[in-house]
Amino acid sequence: MHDAYIRLSGSPKIGEVRNPVAYLYRMVMNLAHNIRVREMRSVAMPSDMLDTLSDESPGPERTAIANIDRDKMLEALASLPARRREIFLARWRDDLSQTEIAVHFSLHKRTVQKELARAERFLHGRTRLGE
């Protein structure tokens, strides 16, 4: 009720109200609803608990390592034979199945499996990400 009083006393004239009790009741209900919504959006937490929270976003070191890893992977990917690289990208970038890749490249499914295995072994050996 106090909030309604403050709002009514501070706002400009609203004009004639046909039913002042209903108007006041509706105003109080709307203010109570707004307060409840505002409180539901916030979470009460002791200030000492804030000190224990950690920031999960990557720091400068993790960002630099990720950039180096990405560059190593792209360099290794570029050094694959063209057909093997295209098969690998069709599988992992384009999310095509081995059967779809076989049809697209006019290959047997077993050939696609071998090319993917060779590409993955090569890339794993060349990159050793995170080391």
Q: Which of 70, 3, 66, 64 is nearest to 30 (CA)?
A: 3
Q: Does some domain include residue 50?
A: no
Does 53 reside within a domain?
Answer: no
Length of the chain: 131
Same domain as 34, residue 66: no
Q: Are residues 123 and 67 in the same domain?
A: yes
Residue 32: give the domain boundaries: 2-45
- Is 51 inside a domain boundary? no
Residues 68 and 103 in one domain: yes
Tell me: do 89 and 112 sit in the same domain: yes
Q: Is residue 55 part of a domain?
A: no
Secondary structure (DSSP) of 51-94: TT----S--HHHHHHHHHHHHHHHHHHHTS-HHHHHHHHHHHTS
Q: What percent of the chain has pLDDT over 70?
A: 96
pLDDT tens, 110-126?
Answer: 999 999 999 999 998 88
- The answer to whether the pTM exceeds 0.85 is no
Same-domain status, 35 and 64: no
Same domain, residue pair 13 and 40: yes
The answer to which of 1-5, 67-71, 77-81, 97-101 has the lowest mean pLDDT is: 1-5
Please give the Cα distance from 115 to 113 (Å, whole number).
6
Domain count across the chain = 2
Task: Please give the structure tokens belonging to residue 36.
Answer: 């409840």
Give the domain CATH number at 79: 1.10.10.10
What are the residues whose beta carbons fall under 8 Å from the beta carbon of 113, sequence distance 6 or more? Answer: 98
Instruction: Tell me, yes or no, whether 22 and 77 share the same domain.
Output: no
Cβ-contact 73, 129 below 8 angstroms: yes
